[in-house]
Structure formats: structure tokens, C-alpha cells
Amino acid sequence: MACTHFSFVSLLLLLVAFPCTQATKDAVKTTEKKIDVVVETTVYCQSCEHSGTWSLIGAKPVPFAKVSVTCKSHKGHVSYYKVFQTDKNGYLYAPLEGFKMQNYILDHPLHSCYVKPVWSPLESCSLLSNVNYGLNGARLRYENKRLHGSNYEAVIYAASPLAFHPSDCS
């Protein structure tokens, strides 16, 4: 009888404990923080008097310009590529959804990613410029900027400003 009572109590404890264990696992899954990599930059139209230089004096933001973000693995293969659009102020906030690092040090965004201007909607200012190495790709830098939410964190990397220049400068 004691053995049966012991088995019944053991079974009862097991049934009670199992849902708690499962609930705890589910709670851990839902409270894991999602960490995103984000790239930011601004795109300008260079003034004619500074065309051919890296100066952005007198430059105006280019709204809705297209900018590419490319990341390569440490073996030189493209591991991430996407074209983003700036806002009405020429500002780009680009969350790199799906970006993965195979090697945390070698494939880190600071080492593997760069940003390039792709297209300007302004017909009067649509030629690519090499301001901040925009033609080859502006490298990223870490400025200790993060966005925090209850289950979200974004690590923000910045690229120096990029530019287009007018074609009709004399």
C-alpha cells in the first residue's frame, strides 16, 4: 500500500511539475532579447562649387535616394546585400534583417560591411561622387549608439555622409 501511495504521489508531482517546466521554457523563449544590426548615414547633393572634392559645404540632403549595404564574409563572398531608401531628409536607417556572422571577429559589421550611394531621384543631382569613398563603399564605424526596447536592442553603426553631385556644373 505504501508503495502504491508513493507511486501515486510521484506521478502527481510529475504531472504538476511538467506544465511548470514547459511554461518556464516558453517564458524564456519569449523574453529573449532580439539584437539587430542597423546602419545609418545621410545622403547629400554636393554644391557645384565643391564638386570633385570631399567638401559638403552648401550640400543639400537628397530625399528618397537609394543606398546599398553590402557585407562580405572573411573569405570575400557577399554574405549580405540590400538596397535601402533614405527618408525625406536624406537620412538612412537600415536594419540589416537576416544579417548573420559566420565568424564573430572576421565577419563583424565594422570589418565586413560598407555603404554605397546607388541612385538619386534628383535629375539635377544624380552623378555618383566619391565623398567618403562612396564609389568603393564607405566603411562603418561604431559610435556607441544603441536603441533599447523591452525585447529589442539595436546596435547602430554609422557610415560617413555620402553624396551625389550635379552634372551641369561649369
Residue 110: the pLDDT is 83
- Output the CA torsion sign for 149, 153, 159, 160: positive
Closest CA to 79 of 100, 65, 61: 100
**Cα maximum dimension of the chain:** 104
Residue whose cell numbers read 514547459: 22
Phi, psi values for residue 16, rounded to 5°: -70, -40
Contact 96, 37 (CB under 8 A): yes
pLDDT one-digit tens code per residue, 37-87: 899 999 999 999 999 899 999 999 999 999 999 998 888 899 999 999 999
User: 38: which strand partners?
Assistant: 95, 156
pTM for this predicted structure: 0.76
Separation CA 77–CA 92 (nearest Å): 25
| Architecture of the domain made up of 33-165 | Sandwich (2.60)
Separation CA 62–CA 124 (nearest Å): 11
pLDDT one-digit tens code per residue, 116-152: 999 999 999 999 999 999 999 999 999 888 888 888 7
